[in-house]
Structure 1
Amino acid sequence: MRMMFTLRPIQKRWLQTVLLQHGDANMVVVVKSSAGCIDKILFAPNMTILPITLIYFQGNRENDRATLQWGVAQNEMLSRFEVERSTDGKNFISAGVIVATSKNGSENYSFSESASANIIYYRLKMYDKKLSADYSRTLVFKNSPNGSSLKIFSNPAVDKLTLSFFAVNSEPVAIKVYDLSGRLQMSERANVSQGENLLSFSLNTSLKTGLYAVEVNNGNEKLAAKFVKQ
């Protein structure tokens, strides 16, 4: 809430007070001359207001199970997260509650549940210590006609990897290759079309023989599969 009021002129000056409230109050006093020039500004904060900062919010759906991951800054300011689910993108219900940890600074969270609906939406309702709430963006997971899966045609792979997958929308995607320790080995970007897609890209010559994981991520959903590099 924001209120402003003006007192009567005193010695050709106007005293204006702006009161900012968000839980506790911060007071700003602005002293102006009769000509409208600012002579003095006084600021008396009673508290520091830190917004809820969501660093990332992503997820994937595989074998009729949805998994969400998110990270926040200023974790000590948070009370809990309510994971909300919808099948129409308009009417949301609570799917679960995650209580914030006591860790200061940044923190990571996850949530997983069975998800058999053809299309399903998720968002976070985030509560701070004063129980003020803020919402995340909404993630949407859709089943493709053949199921949301990532298929590898060149497995084992020698110098090139060929992927097949269904895309809900025409959009850019990130393609990443990880070793079994979770270390990123390659990163590519591609533009895909709505429907079935077939992508091929060359593997780095630095990749040693072994087992790797490839991931296709559009920012809302991840598809992953494993392959062998010969």
Structure 2
Amino acid sequence: MKHLILLMAMSGVLAAKAQSLERKTIAPAGADLVAPNCQISFTLGEIATTTVSNGNLLLTQGFQQPLAVGLNNPLPVTLTYFTGAIREGQTFLEWKTAQEFNTDHYQVERAADGIHFTTLTIVKSKGNSTTPTWYDAIDAAPFAPVTYYRLKIFDKDLSFKYSPIVIIKKELTGGVSVFPNPVVGKISIAVNSTQKISDTWSIINMSGQQVAVKPVALQQGLNTINWDLHALPPATYFIRSAGNTFPALKIIKQ
């Protein structure tokens, strides 16, 4: 009986349109469902599925499989890592992506305080990819003693997101030494500076109290700073740089 009904319906369709046939669905129920990342079209008939064809027309009665399932919003860029290192006074930055979709460009930003970022350079995306892709950038004059870097990643619609922040420390001196140590009166501090720096040095006692302060102006190259410590009582002290020009120096005053 069911096949007879289907064949009658098929004959009617063929009589109405014998030359060009379009896909038609005959079912008691159906729907098109659309979600943010997926679209499914389906029809519901009877529990059993029956398909009849005469070679030109295919008629299916019952449950049909989805006609279309598609992703409208593939995953955007996946950042594997973002890193950097100081070489010969310059910061070399590198980042790697695992996949990219609709990425337009990478805006490399930097800041001296980790808050107020400015643009260092812009690197164009290499295009859609599902394989690892590498990028790099150079900061020829990083801040001292530390520079904060981040990526501002733009899609083609100009929406964006930020990468984690990378912190790169720059050594300001090629070496520092103190003589004589122990000291009785005057002390000399030799600093080999990589650049011209204005700094403030302090002498701190073992209780953490500041007992002397000295502004200094370092030139690029070797500098020798003399400091008269006659007024300090005998004890152990530390010389510290406000600009982190060098690690704390331990001295003994006799």
**Fold shared per TM-score above 0.5:** no
Q: Per residue, is there more strand in 1 or in 2?
A: 1
Is the radius of gyration larger for structure 1 or structure 2? Answer: 2
Higher relative contact order (CA 8 A, sep 6+): 1
**TM-score (ref. length: structure 1):** 0.43
**TM-score (ref. length: structure 2):** 0.40
